[in-house]
């Protein structure tokens, strides 16, 4: 068989010669990414060396079970791949236990919920429209229909209301408390959550899908030894493949009375055989590669730039008269409340996209518009920091966003018009930035 490098080239050629329609569609997406500023907070740029792992022959292997204990023959060569991913995840996060098989963070969370709860048990998680996630106990999702959800939220400053968390925990005696969020711009106090969990005998799960890169870089406190269980996706700040992992720190070897097994063993059995079948080996290889990259000084510098950028963006948008929820950011997220600007989140999202800035509409505290429209946008600095844009460029971006928000004419809540001349000028400014800061390492000449 060809070496990995030759194989990738050969495989891409086969695709190009046999499926022009699909190749054209893929090329369009490459072009869109190169030429727009991705400020979606869940986005980042997956390194080509991570992508290379996905197009490899380990896809051909069925490997139910775990390294050294599989249900199929033919796994001895892939076991070291999964073991590398496990070892690197543990080293990166200082965890005693890691399971790298979850197909996504959603699956990781549901494996955990299934492992430690019985149907109908109470789970206490953050309210969806205050920044929580569908998997944290929400009525239209599995998390809120098979279990009994109770939700905490934000205080009127937009910060997690820990007193409410404690009061709800005391009243409802949840078996599991979930912390971590999908649209929260501030530091999460994991120690405080653990104290609340301990006060009612609950387990604590921290879902760090959004901030895993900052945690790995030591730029956000780690939950690994505070929470009993920590989950994260691997494709947001970690810039890895689409997937999830489950970890545990000092509680990994605690025996759970409900299962009679250690927490680690309980979690392994929850992923397989309870919740999933065979793992996706190429994705696991890609996770191993992403963990190695996240352990480098270069990655730490990028993580610091993510923070510097969100601080600069929040400060400049505030200076230009916009309302930043909580007045700033401790992580990669800047949540903009557009109530004062008199435009909906949906109209703003569409107007910004029309000139090459990609954000997502997001509900803000006290929002009266429906979730599909909203009164805010969520802006994230992962991908632009990876491309090398810094605080200076963030101030330019803030200026572009400001011009869009102040010159667009909303048409109802869902549409907009933007003066053609202004739009062309702004598009040219975006083009200048994307040309100056190409996707890192996507071309041999690209920046490191």
Ligand X SMILES: *Cc1c(COP(=O)(O)O)cnc(C)c1O
Among 209, 237, 360, 403, binds ligand X (CB under 6 A): 209
What is the distance between the alpha carbons of residues 414 and 376, in angstroms, rounded to a whole number? 13
State the nearest-atom distance from the C-beta of 41 to ligand X, in Å: 9
Partner residues linked to 230 by β-bridges: 206, 247
Per CB under 6 A, 144 contacts ligand X: no
Per CB under 6 A, 378 contacts ligand X: no
Per CB under 6 A, 287 contacts ligand X: no
Among 43, 99, 106, 344, binds ligand X (CB under 6 A): 106
Beta carbon nearer to ligand X, 109 or 326:
109
Q: Which stretch binds ligand X (CB under 6 A): 100-108, 158-166, 260-268, 409-417?
A: 100-108
Beta carbon nearer to ligand X, 309 or 360:
360
What is the distance between the alpha carbons of residues 55 and 59, in angstroms, rounded to a whole number? 8
Per CB under 6 A, 207 contacts ligand X: yes
Q: Which stretch binds ligand X (CB under 6 A): 102-110, 290-298, 352-360, 436-444?
A: 102-110
Structure tokens at 250: 């000092």
Beta carbon nearer to ligand X, 111 or 385:
111
Per CB under 6 A, 331 contacts ligand X: no
Structure tokens at 14: 């086969």
State the nearest-atom distance from the C-beta of 382 to ligand X, in Å: 12
The answer to whether 67 and 82 are in contact (CB under 8 A) is yes
Give helix then strand counts, H and E, for the chain: 16, 19
**How distant, in Å, are the alpha carbons of 215, 345, 361, 405, 427 from that of 351?**
33, 10, 11, 8, 11
Q: Is 120 annotated as a binding residue?
A: no
What is the distance between the alpha carbons of residues 49 and 286, in angstroms, rounded to a whole number? 8
The burial class, CB within 10 Å (0-12 / 13-18 / 19+), for 22 is exposed
Per CB under 6 A, 282 contacts ligand X: no
* Prior bond of 273 cis (ω within 30°): yes
Beta carbon nearer to ligand X, 135 or 222:
135
State the nearest-atom distance from the C-beta of 420 to ligand X, in Å: 36
Per CB under 6 A, 149 contacts ligand X: no
The answer to whether 368 and 29 are in contact (CB under 8 A) is no
- Find the helix packing angle between 297-319 and 281-294, rounded to 10°: 80
Structure tokens at 77: 């060569």
Per CB under 6 A, 354 contacts ligand X: no
Per CB under 6 A, 393 contacts ligand X: no
Q: Is 133 annotated as a binding residue?
A: yes
Q: Which of 229, 278, 286 is nearest to 252 (CA)?
A: 229
Q: Is 446 annotated as a binding residue?
A: no
Binding mask 57-96 for ligand X (x = CB under 6 A): ----------------------------------------
Among 182, 276, 309, 331, binds ligand X (CB under 6 A): 182
Per CB under 6 A, 369 contacts ligand X: no
Q: Tell me the pairing of strands 376-380 and 360-361.
A: antiparallel
Residues sharing a CB contact under 8 Å with residue 177, sequence separation 6 or more, in sequence order? 123, 124, 125, 165, 169, 193, 196, 197, 202, 203, 204, 205
Beta carbon nearer to ligand X, 132 or 356:
132
Among 50, 212, 233, 306, binds ligand X (CB under 6 A): 233
Beta carbon nearer to ligand X, 182 or 326:
182
Site residues, ligand X (CB under 6 A): 42, 104-106, 133, 135, 180-182, 207, 209-210, 233, 244
Binding residues: 128, 132-134
User: Which residues are annotated binding-site positions for (6S)-5,6,7,8-tetrahydrofolate?
Assistant: 128, 132-134
């Amino acid at each position: 068989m060809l070496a990995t490098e030759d194989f990738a080239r050969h495989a891409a050629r086969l695709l190009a010669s046999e499926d022009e329609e699909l190749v054209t569609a893929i090329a369009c997406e490459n072009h869109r990414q190169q030429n727009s500023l991705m400020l979606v907070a869940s986005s980042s740029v997956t390194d080509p060396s991570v992508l290379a792992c996905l197009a490899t022959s380990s896809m051909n292997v069925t490997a139910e079970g775990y390294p050294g204990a599989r249900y199929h023959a033919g796994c001895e060569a892939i076991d070291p791949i999964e073991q590398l991913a496990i070892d690197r995840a543990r080293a990166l996060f200082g965890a005693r236990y890691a399971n790298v098989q979850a197909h996504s963070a959603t699956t990781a969370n549901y494996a955990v919920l299934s492992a430690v709860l019985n149907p109908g048990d109470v789970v206490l998680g953050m309210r969806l429209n205050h920044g929580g996630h569908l998997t944290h106990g929400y009525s239209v999702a599995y998390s809120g229909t098979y279990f009994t959800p109770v939700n905490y939220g934000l205080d009127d400053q937009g910060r997690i209301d820990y007193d409410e968390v404690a009061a709800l925990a005391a009243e409802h005696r949840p078996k599991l408390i979930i912390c971590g969020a999908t649209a929260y711009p501030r530091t999460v106090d994991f120690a405080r959550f653990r104290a609340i969990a301990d006060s009612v005998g609950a387990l604590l799960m921290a879902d760090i899908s959004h901030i895993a890169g900052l945690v790995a870089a030591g730029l956000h406190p780690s939950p690994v030894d505070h929470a009993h269980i920590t989950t994260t996706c691997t494709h947001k700040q970690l810039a890895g493949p689409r997937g999830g992992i489950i970890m545990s720190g000092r509680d990994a070897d605690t025996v759970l009375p409900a299962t009679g097994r250690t927490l680690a063993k309980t979690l392994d059995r929850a992923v397989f055989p309870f919740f999933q079948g065979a793992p996706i080996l190429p994705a696991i290889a890609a996770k191993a590669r992403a963990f190695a990259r996240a352990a480098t000084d270069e990655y730490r510098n990028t993580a610091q730039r993510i923070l510097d950028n969100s601080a600069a963006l929040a400060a400049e948008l505030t200076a230009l008269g916009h309302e930043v929820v909580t007045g700033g950011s401790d992580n990669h997220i800047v949540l903009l409340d557009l109530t004062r600007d008199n435009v909906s989140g949906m109209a703003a999202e569409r107007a910004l996209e029309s000139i090459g800035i990609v954000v997502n509409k997001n509900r803000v505290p006290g929002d009266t518009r429906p979730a599909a429209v909203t009164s805010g946008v969520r802006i994230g600095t992962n991908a632009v920091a990876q491309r090398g844009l810094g605080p200076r460029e963030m101030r330019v971006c803030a200026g572009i966003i400001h011009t869009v928000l102040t010159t667009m004419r909303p048409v109802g809540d869902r549409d907009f018009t933007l003066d053609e001349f202004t739009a062309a000028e702004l598009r040219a400014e975006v083009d200048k930035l994307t040309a100056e800061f190409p996707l890192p390492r996507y071309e041999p000449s690209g920046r490191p």
